[in-house]
Amino acid sequence: MSKRINQYDSLDFERKVLYLTGVYCGRKFPNNAAFKIYRIVNTSTAFLFLFLMAAKMIVERDNLELVFDVLHTFISQITLIIKAIYLCKVLPKYNALEERLTEPIFNQQTPDQDALISENILGYKYAAFTLHGLAWVALVLYTICPIIEGPILAIPFWLPSGLDNYKMFVKIYEVLCTWTLSSGDPALDLLPVCLLSIGTAQLDILNQNLTCSADRDPDDSYEVQEKKIRVRLKNCVQHHLAIIKYLDDVQDIFSFGMFIQIFTSVVAICMTGLQFISITPDSTVFFQVVTYFGCMLSQIYNVCWIGQKVITKSDEIRDACYMSAWETCMLSQIYNVCWIGQKVITKSDEIRDACYMSAWETCCSSNKKTIFIFMERSKRVMMFRAGNFFTLSLATFVLIIRNAYSYFAVLVRVYK
């Protein structure tokens, strides 16, 4: 017998990360006075970091290479701030959504069906491990490499004159801001991934229940059999409506954040790719970067090939490491949400097949009508839309990469 997983607790790690970044509070993380003060301090620090990067780009606007070097981090910081503010705005609604995971309608699975929930949550954990791991690798590179090479900043930002004697404090401030970005941004994107993974598990359970809804016990009379079928179909209808409401609420809460993430990621990936061409082709560093970037593309190809079940597992040198880690992290971040969005579409589309695969032909006319209505309702496929503009799917992931490359090609021409 498989071990039952508490669906509510599956989000605990992301809750802890967001609580430490001053974004989340809930049942296990109280919104007390200390947290409110911490949130104000953290928010002020994030906005100050954004302002200093903007000031650096304005002061050095004639240095196009430096502007591009700052811009991808600047875009990511803006994205984090917008998504964090929006989540704080809808936090009561999000907390209510979390509590719905404890309702009986989402916890009436059989012991054998626990494996379906375990499998989907395990897929989310693989995605979380991959994304957080890539983000923290980028954080280590941004922290360690400048210290080894000298008193320089990994992310150039404007500093007032007279701070030369306080470089260590400036570096600590940069590391703290980078940690917030590399931890908070993935955690915000992984919340809908986890919630949608739970939704796909519930769809798996619903499909299995529908397939078995017309099963009969030969020891019962025909009337008793039909009554039991009617009860099972009623439970399936209630479960289906609960899943639809649950996924609609997930979309209402995270649709705007996902739209911002997709929109800014196209620009960020484009800017990051532009950094590669600043390395001279006649240097050995160029071949190292090409090799590293080829490995990164191979990794992304393997992830897409495996599909919708799991996520596969000098200054020029420093810049190459930064851009490779950051680019991989951005691609993984976008792939996660597109992968789980595709999974919702696929599982939702299987409802009609589950109805048809049941022994509907043996049912009475009343139960046949119920199954027919169920099949007609399931023609409206569930999907997750980002800002009512993009449907999250693997096709959208390909579209994002294609558009990023198109903008990249334009910028290369401008850059040259």
- Render pLDDT for 237-250 as a digit per residue (tens, 0 to 9): 898 889 989 988 98
Asked if 7 contacts 117 with a C-beta cutoff of 8 angstroms, the reply is yes
Token digits of residue 345: 């579409």
What tokens were used for 229?
Answer: 């079928």
Question: pLDDT confidence of 70, banded at 50, 70, 90?
Answer: confident
Q: Tell me the per-residue pLDDT of 31-44, one tens digit each, with 9 for 90 and over.
A: 888 888 989 998 89
Cα(79)–Cα(267) distance, integer angstroms: 11
257 or 320, higher pLDDT:
257
Say which residue the tokens 């669906």 belong to: 7
pLDDT at 394 over 80: no
**Confidence at residue 329, expressed as pLDDT on a 0 to 100 scale:** 53
Neighbouring residues of 46: CB distance < 8 A, sequence distance ≥ 6:
77, 80, 81, 84, 177, 180
**pLDDT band (50, 70, 90) for residue 312:** very low
* Count of Cβ atoms closer than 10 Å to residue 115 Cβ: 18
Q: Rounded to an integer, what distance in angstroms lies between the CA atom of residue 189 and that of residue 100?
A: 20
> Where do the structural domains in the chain lie, given as residue ranges?
8-415
**Both tokens of residue 94?**
């999000």
Query: CB neighbours (10 Å) of residue 190?
Result: 26
- Which of 40-44, 204-208, 212-216, 277-281 is predicted with the least confidence, judged by mean pLDDT? 277-281
Q: For the whole model, what pTM was predicted?
A: 0.77
Query: Interior CA angle at 269 toward 267 and 271, to 5°?
Result: 65
pLDDT tens-place string over residues 255-295: 888 788 777 766 666 665 665 555 555 543 343 334 334 33
Report pLDDT digits (tens) over 359-393.
Answer: 777 788 888 888 888 888 877 777 777 767 777 77
Q: Collapsing DSSP states into helix, strand and coil, what is residue 261?
A: helix
User: Coil, strand, or helix at residue 118?
Assistant: helix
Q: What is the pLDDT of residue 96?
A: 92
